[in-house]
Amino acid sequence: MIRLSIPFRQALSKLTLPVLIAGAFGLLLLGKADTVVMQRARMALADVLAPVYGLLSEPLSSVRNGVDNVRHLLTLYEDNARLRQENERLRQWQAAAQALDVENAALKANLHWIPDPAPSYMTAHVVADAGGIYARAVLLSIGPGTPVVKGQVALDDRGLVGRVTELGSRSARVMLITDISSRVPVVLENSRAHAVLVGNNGARPRLMFWPEGSPPVEGERVTTSAEANAFPAGLPVGVVHYTSGKVAELVPYAQLDRLEMVRLFDYGMRGVLPPEATSSKPSSEVKK
């Protein structure tokens, strides 16, 4: 270590701080001008950290499960009563679903229906929150060589989670449907009207741009639409809920605040190109 006299060191620090502040402005500009370099740097760091956080997440989730178990023990009696009621209701639905399933199969057979191919999927661990303060995203740990591509659709066991937006060699970042820049074309299930699900960084994204005359109804199911070729049609997203201020929001099915595993489906949807592709060819095919 070089030993400097105190006045000299003070003079140096007086000079370095303004230079470094200018450097920070430079970084800001560079980050805005060349998003690809910054993305690579981030994913390189994420690739290093994802396996470590993956190891950490197992004991952490067992601690969380332990706490949950204790909490469940305390509410055992009420839970049981509620579940018994719910079971009763679901049994009725099961009968209805089985009858409809048989009817559906018979109708499809009569119509010579061509079935959709079953999409392939893989399951990945969520190892960390990758949103920061002003974004909502999660980091997945993926094995090297796993065929994950940008634009793949992520679902948990209940519904739509988001899409893969950034990709490293051992990690992938999934932007959640609650992110402020997330836009998902959706269908309101009862009226079949199209709408757009707009993220707002809160727990409940907003529904917007539905056609006049068919507003979303409280409690209506919302599924994805194949519009814009970004999502396949019919993935469950959530149910409509109106705030006290009469704003149509969506309560997502997916448990976005406690994601542990997601399934990544490849539907071959490349309707919305990733930023790298758009920056390299600024053609009209991206913009409508």
Partner 1 sequence: MVARMSFPIITTAVLLLLLAAPLGLPGQAQWQQAGALCCVFFWGLFRPASMPPLAVFLLGVLADLLDYAPMGLTVLTFLLAYGLALRWRRGLTRLGFLLDWFAFISVAVASSALEWAATSLLSFHFLPVGDALLEAGIAIGLYPLLAIGLTRAHQTIADPDRA
Task: Give least dist CB 164 to partner 1, A.
Answer: 15
**Nearer residue to partner 1 within complex by CB, 91 or 258:** 258
Amino acid occupying residue 226: A
Nearer to partner 1 by Cβ, of 98 and 279: the residue is 279
Positions that interact with partner 1 (CB under 8 A): 1, 9, 13, 16-17, 20-21, 23-32, 38, 41-42, 45, 49, 53, 56-57, 60-61, 64, 126-135, 137, 173, 180-181, 200-202, 258
Query: Nearest approach, Cβ of 18 to partner 1 (angstroms)?
Result: 9
Q: How far is CA 170 from CA 43, 127, 254, in A?
A: 9, 11, 24
Which is nearer to partner 1, 213 or 282 (by Cβ)?
A: 282
Task: Supply 80's token pair.
Answer: 């049981």
Instruction: Identify which of residues 69 and 110 has a Cβ nearer to partner 1 in the complex.
Output: 69
Q: What is the spatial distance between Cα 134 and Cα 153, in angstroms, rounded to a whole number?
A: 22
C-beta of 280: minimal distance to partner 1 in Å?
A: 20
Residue 205 DSSP one-character state: P
Residue 198: CB partners within 8 Å, gap ≥ 6? 182, 183, 205, 206, 207, 208
Give the Cα separation of 269 and 170 in Å (integer).
22
| Nearest CA-CA partner of 135 in 197, 177, 196, 184 | 177
Please state the closest distance from residue 16 (CB atom) to partner 1, in A: 5
Nearer to partner 1, 1 or 73 (CB): 1
Nearest distance from residue 261's CB to partner 1, in Å? 12
Query: Which of 270, 222, 267 is CA-nearest to residue 116?
Result: 267
Quick one: 142 or 235, whose CB is closer to partner 1?
142
- We find the least distance from the C-beta atom of residue 169 to partner 1, in angstroms, to be 16
Under a CB-based contact definition with an 8 Å cutoff, are residues 265 and 152 in contact?
yes
